[in-house]
Amino acid sequence: MVTNMVEGMQTGTAIRWGIIRKRDLTLMGTIGFHNLARRHRRAEIGYEIHPDYWHNGYASEALRRTLDYATHVADFERVGAVVYTGNIASQHMLERNGFLREGTLRHYMRQAEKAHDVYMYSYIHERQDHE
């Protein structure tokens, strides 16, 4: 996973950050973009948080800051996210932060040699005239 992240950053197809807890600089996870299509002003977001830090709002805070970067620095109009159908907590977190579920992608991801269905989500940023 780390090799893929580094290769993506080197080729310009990915952007990745660590999620650090401010009070003690603990690395809790990562967040960033992959499948960048700058010409189409879109990217897909991905994140992972160590289970020790779940349910504390860290992922939501990181997501909001990353969306701010996406819309105000990178100028993305669409940010997509794919979530395993069984990952209810992540689905709720995306929905609380303005993502809409668009549909199901069947056998879209593989984990432990097994194909999994995912939900496709999107966050659309409508540019304002004053931006």
Name which of 49, 19, 12 is nearest 34 in CA terms: 12
In a domain, 32, yes or no: yes
In a domain, 130, yes or no: no
User: What are the DSSP calls for 73-117, one per residue?
Assistant: TS--SEEEEEEETT-HHHHHHHHHTT-EEEEEEEEEEEETTEEEE
By residue range, what is the domain housing residue 93?
2-124
Residue 24: per-residue pLDDT: 94
CATH code of residue 9: 3.40.630.30
In a domain, 89, yes or no: yes
Residue 6: per-residue pLDDT: 66
User: For the chain, which ranges sit under pLDDT 70?
Assistant: 1-12, 128-131
Compute the distance between CA of residue 125 and CA of residue 108 in angstroms, rounded to an integer: 25
What does the block give as tokens for 68? Answer: 């701010």
Residue 7: per-residue pLDDT: 67
In a domain, 129, yes or no: no
In a domain, 131, yes or no: no
In a domain, 49, yes or no: yes
Residue 130: per-residue pLDDT: 47
Contact between residue 121 and residue 99 where contact means Cβ atoms under 8 Å apart = yes
Q: How far is CA 128 from CA 43, 56, 125, in A?
A: 20, 32, 9
Q: What are phi and psi of 119, to 5 degrees?
A: -95, 140
Prediction pTM value: 0.86
In a domain, 22, yes or no: yes
Tally of structural domains, the chain: 1
In a domain, 91, yes or no: yes
Using CB atoms within 10 A of its CB, is residue 64 exposed (0-12), middle (13-18) or buried (19+)?
Answer: exposed
What does the block give as tokens for 85? Answer: 């159908």
